[in-house]
Chain A
C-alpha cells in the first residue's frame, strides 16, 4: 500500500480524499495556490506544499509544479480528484515517467474518452447506443424524409448555423418533416444568411442518467447502480440522486451491462462514469464517459455502501475487487444538493468573499456533508464557487427528501449569497417530488430564477406564531424583577406581515407554568392565529440561530436572526420578518404612514459590495444607454456599471474611493 499520497486538487474533493487517506492510514499531502494557503484542505492534510499563484494555469493545472511538489514531498501516488488535471493524459504520462502512481485509469481510456467523436465511435462499435443522426447537410425535403426515417421519429431539424431556437423544428411524421424542412431552411437563411440544414434525433423530456463503474487491473468489472443528474442549470448539475426514480431493475441491468462493455473496450481500470441521455420511452443513448471520480459520487457510496476513493487507491495498488456484481445491492435512497455561492434571486450571479458564518447540520447516518470551507474562510474568484455538497440518505426517496429539506433549513451560510433557498424550493416542488425529472426542469419550473414566495397559509401561520413566541420570550428577559425566562400566561399580539394583520393569542399550557428556557428545554404554548390553533413546543436557548419547533408534534427547523423589531425567520428558502406588536398598542399601527419603497429605477445601485474606483460622468451630463457610469472594484475584479437607458445624471452620492455596500445608491438620474 502507498505510504504517502498527494492530492492534486483543492476544495471539498481534496478534503474528502484526505478523509479516506486518514482512514487507510496513508499520509496525505495537500497542494495549494497562494489564495488557498489557509484553505480547509491544507489544514486537514498531514503535509502541504505551495504550487504557485492564484490562476489555475500556474498552480492546479501546472503539471511541472505539481510534479515538483510530488518529488519534494516524496509521495508514492497522486489522486487527481475531479476537474483540473484529472482527465489529462499528459499529466498521467508525466507521473508514469517520474515513477509516481496516478490514481485513475490508463492512458488509452483517458485519451479515447476525452475525445467526443472517438468515444462515440468506440461506443457504437461495441453496441452501446448513441444519439442517432449526424451533422451532414440535408439537401431537400425528400432527402430530409429519408434521413428522418433512418434516425426514427421524432427528429429535430436544425440550422447548421443555428442558435437561440431559430431555425429549429421538431417533427413527428413524414408529412411534418417536408413542411418543417422548408420553413427551417427559410428561417435559417433569413436569420443567419446560411440555409444549410441537418437532422438529428429529438429526445423528449431528456433525463441525464449515468452509471458508476469500477474496474480493477485484473479484469473485474462492476457497475454500481445509476445516478440521475437531470436537475441541471446550464449544464451544471445541481441535484443528483441514486437510484433514479425512472429506472427499474431490468433497465438498470441493461444500462449497467452496456456501461461495463464500454469500459472493457478501453481496458478501463479504476472508477469511472458512463453518462447516458434517456428519453421518455426509456431509450438511452451514450453521451460520454468520465474517466475520473465524479462530483456526485457520494450518493452512490451512501446507497451501495462502499468508499469509491478507497477502492480507487486499492486498485491503483493492484488490489482485486472483493465484490461480485450480484453482491451489489441498492439500499435506500440518497440525494445530493450542491451548495454554490451564487445568488438565485439575481440570475444566479456568482458571489465571492468572506464566509462570516458557517454552521452545518450535524453529520449522521442520514446526512453527509462534503465541504471545503469553514467559518471565516473565503470563496475566491479564482475557482469553482461550490461551498459544499449536502447529501441525505433515507429508506426511500420520500424519506431522503425530508432529511434533505430539514438539513437545508439548518444549513447556515452568511457573508455571501448562496443557492440554499433555491435548493429548498426544489425540495418542495411538486414535479420534483413526483420524480418527473428532465434536464429542462429548472428552465421550465424556474424560468426567472427564484422569485416570489407562493405563500402556503399554514406555513406562514407557523412562522408568524414562532416569531411572536420568540419576540415575547426575548422581550420578557429585559423585565426587571421578573422570573422572566418564560412566557406570560396569556398574551395577545397583533402581527403584521406583508400588509396583512394576524391576531395571535398565546396560552401557556398549565403543566409548564414556570419552565425556564435552557439549552434543551421545551416551552410549550398554544397559539391561536386568526382562529387557527397550533400547539407549539420550542427548543431554543436564546442564542442559537436555529430553533427546533414541534408544531402539533410535527418537527420543524427554522433559522432565526434577531432584528430591531422581533425576529427574521428563515425556512424553506424564504425569509420572513413579521412585526409583532402588543395587542394594546396594535390598533395604533394603522396610523403609521406606509413607507413606500423608493422607486429605484432612477438610481444607480451598487450590485455588490466593493470599492468605487472611478466615476466617468459628471452631474448634469446626459448619458446614452450602454455608456459606462462608474467602475466598482470587488474582489480585485473591475466591474463597469453602465447606463441601462438614456439618462441625465442628477446627483452623484459617492466620491472615488468610497466603499459601497450592496444595494447602496451610487447616483441618481433625472
Chain B
C-alpha cells in the first residue's frame, strides 16, 4: 500500500476507535453499545457511508487544544434500511461523553440539511452528556442551530429520535421536536434539569429513573412513544417502524404484497360488541382482525391507554389507526388521549398515511381535573387535527359516538371521507339515561315514566339509523365485512385530491 493510502487507513482505524478501548469497555459494561455498533444494527449490512470522520473541535480553552478525538463525539452519515435511504447521526458517549460542541453540531446539521434536500428520514441516536461546557455559548449555539434545522425538516422528512443514554438540559429539545421518541429501558433518561437541581430547587428527592427514565416518559409524561428493553431491540424495532413510513412528504409509504385476502370476512366480529352496552370489549381484537397479517405497530402503548394509535397495513398499504379503547376509562377522550391522538393524526397527514378511525366514545371525561387542565383546548387539538387532515379518512363507529366526542372522531362533518357504522352503533347527543333526565325533568320523581321515556329514547337514538337518515354516515355495515370496506375505501381514496385556501399556516390550539 502506498504511503498516502496507508495514512488514510491509519486515520480511519484511529477514528473508529472513538474514545478508546477503555471507554468502549465502560460503555459496554453499562449495557450500552457504541455509536458505530448501533448504526451497524440499524442499517443493512455494509450500507453505511460515514461523513466527517475527520472533524475535530476548535476549542482552545481549558486545555482542550490538546484533547482532540477524530469525529468529535458523533458519527454521521447515510445508510440504507431495507434498501431505503436514511440519514443518521449517532452520538458517541466514549468521546467527551458525547457532549455537543460547535463542530459536533455542525456534523449533525450537515446530515440533516442533506436529508431534507434528498428527501430521506433523519434518525438521531442520542447518547450525550449535554453541552460541551468548555466551549460555552458556542455549544449552546450549536443546539439552537440543530433545533432550527429540526423545525425546517419537520413535515418534510420523518425525524426519529432514539434516546440511548443521557439526554438532559437543552439537549432534550431536539428530540422533542422530532416525530417520534424511542427510549431504552434502564439506560436512557431525559429531563430538563437533573435530580440534583430538582433537590436544590424544590426539595424533591427523585432518582434519574423516576424523573426521566423510559418508564416515566412512556407511561406518565407521554414524551416517549415507545420503549424497548435494550439497544438491539430498539434498533430492530426502529427498522420495523420505518417500513410503515414514506421517505418524505412527497412520496408514499412503501407497499407490500400481502397474502392476507382483502375481502377476508371475520364472522367473529359480529359478536364483538357485548349485549350490555356498558360492558367493555377489547378494541385491539378488532384492529388485529381487520389489518394485514395482524401486524400492528403500536405507538404510546402505555400512555393514555383509552386511545390506541399505531401503524398497520391494509391491502399492503400503510395506514394510521386511531381507536377508542373501551377497556380503559370506557374509551372516553381526556387531555392525554386527545393530545396523543392529535399528534399522531398530524404526523400521518404530513406523510400521506391514510387514517382509519374506530369509534366507541362515550364523550369527554368530565371533572375539575380535566377542566382546570384545559380539556377544552386539548380536545380541540384532536378536532383541529382531524379537520385539517387531507389524507384519506375512513371512520367506523362500532358502538357509542356521543356528544362532542362524536364530532371530533373523524366525523362526516369535519370531512371524514367514508363514515360507516356497525348496527350496534349509538350515535346520539348522550346516553339515554342522561338525555331523559334532562328532557323529562318534570317526570324525575316517577321512575316508571322515566323508564318508559328511557326506552323510547333508546329506541329512537341508541342506533345508527337516525344518523344514517341524515346522511351523517355513508352506510351501516356488518362488522364481519369491515376489512373489505376499509380496503375498498382506501383504494377509492387513493386519488383523493383537495386543495385548501391559501394561508401561511393554520393556528392549531396549542
Chain B residues lying within 8 Å of A57, measured Cβ to Cβ, are none
Q: Which of B37, B185, B271 contacts A38 (CB 8 A)?
A: B271
Q: Are B259 and A542 in contact (CB under 8 A)?
A: yes
Contacts A376-B272, A477-B256, A480-B254 given; indicate if A562 touches B294 (C-beta within 8 A).
Answer: yes
Q: Return A319 CB to nearest CB of chain B, in Å.
A: 39
* B-contact 0/1 string along A66-99, CB 8 Å cutoff: 0000000000000000000000000000000000
A232 to B381, CA, bound (A): 61
Q: Are B259 and A543 in contact (CB under 8 A)?
A: yes
* A-contact 0/1 string along B307-335, CB 8 Å cutoff: 00000000000000000000110000000
Chain B residues lying within 8 Å of A593, measured Cβ to Cβ, are 31, 186-187, 230
Chain A residues lying within 8 Å of B239, measured Cβ to Cβ, are 478
Q: Return A583 CB to nearest CB of chain B, in Å.
A: 10
Segment of A22-30, A334-342, A584-592 in the binding face: A584-592
Residues 33-50 of B contacting A (Cβ, < 8 Å): 33, 37, 40-41, 45
Q: A553 an interface residue at 8 Å Cβ cutoff?
A: no
A374 to B185, CA, bound (A): 41
A479 to B185, CA, bound (A): 29
Q: Which of A479, A589, A659 contacts B280 (CB 8 A)?
A: A659
Contacts A376-B270, A588-B232, A592-B231 given; indicate if A482 touches B83 (C-beta within 8 A).
Answer: yes
A562 to B270, CA, bound (A): 25
Q: Are B232 and A376 in contact (CB under 8 A)?
A: no
Q: Return A39 CB to nearest CB of chain B, in Å.
A: 11
Chain A residues lying within 8 Å of B233, measured Cβ to Cβ, are 564-565
Interface residue total, chain B, C-beta cutoff 8 A: 44
Q: Are B82 and A478 in contact (CB under 8 A)?
A: yes
Q: Return A474 CB to nearest CB of chain B, in Å.
A: 9
Contacts A479-B83, A481-B83, A591-B33 given; indicate if A541 touches B259 (C-beta within 8 A).
Answer: yes
Q: A234 an interface residue at 8 Å Cβ cutoff?
A: no
Contacts A478-B243, A541-B259, A562-B293 given; indicate if A659 touches B82 (C-beta within 8 A).
Answer: no
Please name the residue on chain A nearest to B33 by beta carbon. Answer: A588
Q: B449 an interface residue at 8 Å Cβ cutoff?
A: no
Chain B residues lying within 8 Å of A356, measured Cβ to Cβ, are 268, 285
Q: A152 an interface residue at 8 Å Cβ cutoff?
A: no
Q: A500 an interface residue at 8 Å Cβ cutoff?
A: no
Chain A residues lying within 8 Å of B243, measured Cβ to Cβ, are 478
Q: A377 an interface residue at 8 Å Cβ cutoff?
A: yes
Q: Return B341 CB to nearest CB of chain A, in Å.
A: 20
Q: Which of A482, A542, A582, A588 contacts B37 (CB 8 A)?
A: A588
A565 to B229, CA, bound (A): 12
Q: Are A564 and B237 in contact (CB under 8 A)?
A: yes
A485 to B259, CA, bound (A): 11
Q: Are B185 and A595 in contact (CB under 8 A)?
A: yes
Q: A581 an interface residue at 8 Å Cβ cutoff?
A: yes
Chain B residues lying within 8 Å of A375, measured Cβ to Cβ, are 267-268
Q: Return B265 CB to nearest CB of chain A, in Å.
A: 11
Q: Are B327 and A659 in contact (CB under 8 A)?
A: yes
Q: Are A562 and B33 in contact (CB under 8 A)?
A: no
Q: Return A582 CB to nearest CB of chain B, in Å.
A: 8
Q: Are A480 and B84 in contact (CB under 8 A)?
A: yes
Chain B residues lying within 8 Å of A585, measured Cβ to Cβ, are 40-41, 232
Which of A519, A541, A595 gathers the greatest number of chain B CB atoms within 10 Å?
Answer: A595
A267 to B84, CA, bound (A): 82
Which of B82, B186, B229, B269 gathers the greatest number of chain A CB atoms within 10 Å?
Answer: B82
Q: Are A581 and B280 in contact (CB under 8 A)?
A: no
Q: Are B259 and A595 in contact (CB under 8 A)?
A: no
Residues 474-519 of A contacting B (Cβ, < 8 Å): 477-482, 485, 518-519
A357 to B266, CA, bound (A): 10
Chain B residues lying within 8 Å of A541, measured Cβ to Cβ, are 259
Q: Which of B230, B254, B280 contacts A592 (CB 8 A)?
A: B230
Residues 203-231 of B contacting A (Cβ, < 8 Å): 229-231
Contacts A591-B28, A592-B31, A593-B187 given; indicate if A543 touches B260 (C-beta within 8 A).
Answer: yes
Chain B residues lying within 8 Å of A374, measured Cβ to Cβ, are 267-268
Q: Return B480 CB to nearest CB of chain A, in Å.
A: 9
Please name the residue on chain B nearest to A477 by beta carbon. Answer: B256
Q: Return A163 CB to nearest CB of chain B, in Å.
A: 42
A376 to B273, CA, bound (A): 10
Residues 536-550 of A contacting B (Cβ, < 8 Å): 541-543
Q: Report whether over half of chain B's contact residues are helix, strand or loop; otherwise say mixed.
A: loop
A636 to B328, CA, bound (A): 18
Q: B443 an interface residue at 8 Å Cβ cutoff?
A: no
A589 to B236, CA, bound (A): 13
Residues 98-152 of B contacting A (Cβ, < 8 Å): none
A542 to B260, CA, bound (A): 8
Chain A residues lying within 8 Å of B232, measured Cβ to Cβ, are 581, 585, 588-589, 592
Chain A residues lying within 8 Å of B281, measured Cβ to Cβ, are 354
Residues 239-259 of B contacting A (Cβ, < 8 Å): 239-240, 243, 254, 256-259
A593 to B260, CA, bound (A): 38
Chain A residues lying within 8 Å of B240, measured Cβ to Cβ, are 478, 564
Which of A374, A564, A591 gathers the greatest number of chain B CB atoms within 10 Å?
Answer: A591
* A-contact 0/1 string along B19-33, CB 8 Å cutoff: 000000000100111
Residues 520-578 of A contacting B (Cβ, < 8 Å): 541-543, 562, 564-565
Please name the residue on chain B nearest to A358 by beta carbon. Answer: B268
Chain A residues lying within 8 Å of B267, measured Cβ to Cβ, are 374-376
Chain A residues lying within 8 Å of B31, measured Cβ to Cβ, are 591-593
Please name the residue on chain A nearest to B295 by beta carbon. Answer: A562
Q: Return B363 CB to nearest CB of chain A, in Å.
A: 16
Q: Which of B82, B229, B268 contacts A480 (CB 8 A)?
A: B82
Chain B residues lying within 8 Å of A582, measured Cβ to Cβ, are 45
A593 to B84, CA, bound (A): 31
Chain B residues lying within 8 Å of A38, measured Cβ to Cβ, are 271
Chain B residues lying within 8 Å of A565, measured Cβ to Cβ, are 233, 236
Q: Return B220 CB to nearest CB of chain A, in Å.
A: 12
A481 to B44, CA, bound (A): 13
A595 to B187, CA, bound (A): 12
A531 to B285, CA, bound (A): 42
Chain B residues lying within 8 Å of A357, measured Cβ to Cβ, are 268
Q: Are A588 and B254 in contact (CB under 8 A)?
A: no
A322 to B185, CA, bound (A): 74
Chain B residues lying within 8 Å of A564, measured Cβ to Cβ, are 233, 237, 240
Contacts A542-B293, A584-B40, A589-B232 given; indicate if A478 touches B256 (C-beta within 8 A).
Answer: yes
Contacts A542-B293, A543-B293 given; indicate if A376 touches B269 (C-beta within 8 A).
Answer: yes
Please name the residue on chain A nearest to B305 by beta carbon. Answer: A659
A593 to B32, CA, bound (A): 8
Please name the residue on chain B nearest to A591 by beta carbon. Answer: B28
A445 to B396, CA, bound (A): 52
A357 to B328, CA, bound (A): 22
Which of A541, A582, A593 gathers the greatest number of chain B CB atoms within 10 Å?
Answer: A593
A322 to B49, CA, bound (A): 85
Contacts A480-B82, A542-B259, A593-B230 given; indicate if A377 touches B328 (C-beta within 8 A).
Answer: no
Q: Return B374 CB to nearest CB of chain A, in Å.
A: 22
Please name the residue on chain A nearest to B289 by beta carbon. Answer: A356
A310 to B233, CA, bound (A): 59
Chain A residues lying within 8 Å of B271, measured Cβ to Cβ, are 38, 354, 376-378
Chain A residues lying within 8 Å of B45, measured Cβ to Cβ, are 582, 584
Which of B32, B83, B232, B267 gathers the greatest number of chain A CB atoms within 10 Å?
Answer: B232
Chain A residues lying within 8 Å of B258, measured Cβ to Cβ, are 542-543
Q: Return A357 CB to nearest CB of chain B, in Å.
A: 8
Contacts A585-B41, A595-B185, A659-B280 given; indicate if A376 touches B268 (C-beta within 8 A).
Answer: yes
Chain A residues lying within 8 Å of B294, measured Cβ to Cβ, are 562
A183 to B250, CA, bound (A): 91
What would 10 A/B residue contacts be, using CB atoms closer than 8 Å? A356-B268, A374-B267, A376-B268, A478-B239, A542-B258, A562-B293, A591-B32, A593-B186, A593-B230, A595-B229
Given contact pairs A374-B267, A588-B41, enumerate 6 new A-B contacts (beta carbons under 8 Å): A374-B268, A477-B256, A479-B82, A562-B293, A582-B45, A588-B232
User: 5 smallest A-B Cβ distances: which pairs?
Assistant: A376-B268, A593-B31, A480-B83, A376-B271, A375-B268
